Amino acid sequence: KDQIQYPRMDCVDEWVRHYRSYATEGRCASYIPALGKADPSQLGICIVGPKGSVIKSGDWQVPFTLQSISKVISFIAACISRGIPYVLDRVDVEPTGDAFNSIIRLEMHKPGKPFNPMINAGAITIASLLPGESSRAKLEFVYELIEKMIGKRPRINEEVFQSEWKTAHRNRALAYYLKETGFLESEVEEALEVYLKLCSIEVNTEDIALIGMILASDGYHPIQKEQVFPKNVARLTKALMLTCGMYNASGKFAAFVGVPAKSGVSGGILTLVPPGIKRELPFQDGCGIGIYGPAIDEYGNSLTGVMLLKHIAKEWDLSIF
Ligand code: GLN
């Protein structure tokens, strides 16, 4: 549909093939047993411009669960329903330099406010702030937002959810701590159910590229021609993605790729290029990029996905800096 002829597009297939071979240097997340079943050699990418998908390569269609990429969506949902000041009273906007599931700063820095919504402590708190008196109502609010963005009702991968639910010991510890300090607004089990169900939503690279495209367009859905969320929420979310979205590798990612991004332990990366970065890119109005590569590195980010993005960012001069 939107096939802009661009001389180097063929190269994407070649780059995907090339970086797939590095998958043996990483491994699939296994602390959530169901994620350990993924094929580590898979790598796929989808790039969506304002008129629709433009580049799809490799395993772009393979379904995977959102995992931490859901943190972007639940944060947007909380800001829409509660307003930014309310949300930021309960979750800060500072990077930690710690692992995504770290608990240490909650106790070190009184009164224990989570540092940012892109790590587990922040995202579990955000899950408790969502509107509605039950996990069902809270989830429904987020499902409707996702449906507006990707044009289909999200589906939970039950096997992954059950696997997470049974092994969420660290997340439970975080949630109980947050309950004790008063940051968690709902009951522990309700916040955990919402958080883990959002992590278990199944998507492919095109779905997350579309969400990236909407973020690149400051909350405007260029295909549906609808403002899905306000511009100030989009700007705040992108700042958080840039500073905290790749966990304790966010600095390296900003330095060597240079665009807002959010990863998940299942190997997905949602990233985007804001409009105005013209250079050699065919998408002068910005684009969303979805990546899937389930072999992850020591930080919990897709190993081959980050390699591919580094390469693309260099070739196409994508850095926002
Ligand atoms: N569901 C995962 C967890 O809470 C998400 C973490 C991640 O993607 N880094 O542990």
Q: 102-116, 124-138, 153-167, 304-318: lowest mean pLDDT where?
A: 102-116
Three-state SS for 222? Answer: coil
CA of 265 to the centre of ligand 1 (A): 6
CB-based contacts of 153, cutoff 8 Å, min separation 6: 143, 146, 147
Burial (0-12, 13-18, 19+ Cβ within 10 Å), 230? middle
In 51-183 the beta strands, taken as DSSP E runs, fall at: 52-58, 64-65, 155-156
C-beta of residue 214 within 8 angstroms of C-beta of residue 221: yes
Tell me which residue has its CA closest to atom 6 in ligand 1.
Answer: 68
**Structural tokens at position 93:** 């906007």
Torsion angles phi and psi, residue 154, rounded to 5: -65, 150
ipTM: 0.97
Cβ atoms within 10 Å of 101's Cβ, excluding its own? 18
State the pLDDT at residue 52: 80
**Structural tokens at position 220:** 């405007």
Is residue 163 within 6 Å of ligand 1 at its C-beta? Answer: no
Tell me which residue has its CA closest to atom 2 in ligand 1.
Answer: 67
The single residue of 19, 177, 220, 247 carrying the catalytic annotation is: 247
How far is it, in rounded angstroms, from Cα 266 to Cα 170? 17
| pLDDT tens string 232-243 | 999 999 999 999
Q: What is the DSSP string of 190-213?
A: HHHHHHHHHHTEEE-HHHHHHHHH
Asked if 6 is an active-site residue, the reply is: no
How far is it, in rounded angstroms, from Cα 139 to Cα 217? 25
**Which helix H or strand E contains 239, and what residues bound it?**
helix 231-244
| pLDDT tens string 165-181 | 999 999 999 999 999 99
State the pLDDT at residue 97: 86
What domains are there in the chain, each with its CATH number?
Answer: 10-65+203-315 (3.40.710.10), 67-201 (3.40.710.10)
Is residue 265 within 6 Å of ligand 1 at its C-beta? Answer: yes
CA of 118 to the centre of ligand 1 (A): 10
Asked if 265 is an active-site residue, the reply is: yes
| Predicted structure pTM score | 0.95
| pLDDT tens string 11-39 | 899 999 999 999 999 999 989 999 999 99
Beta pairing, strands 64-65 & 201-203: antiparallel
Asked if 68 is an active-site residue, the reply is: yes
State the pLDDT at residue 1: 43
Chain center to CA of 248: 15
Rounded to 10 deg, the angle between the 231-244 and 205-216 helix axes is 120
Identity of the amino acid at 111:
P
Identity of the amino acid at 11:
C
The single residue of 56, 71, 197, 262 carrying the catalytic annotation is: 71
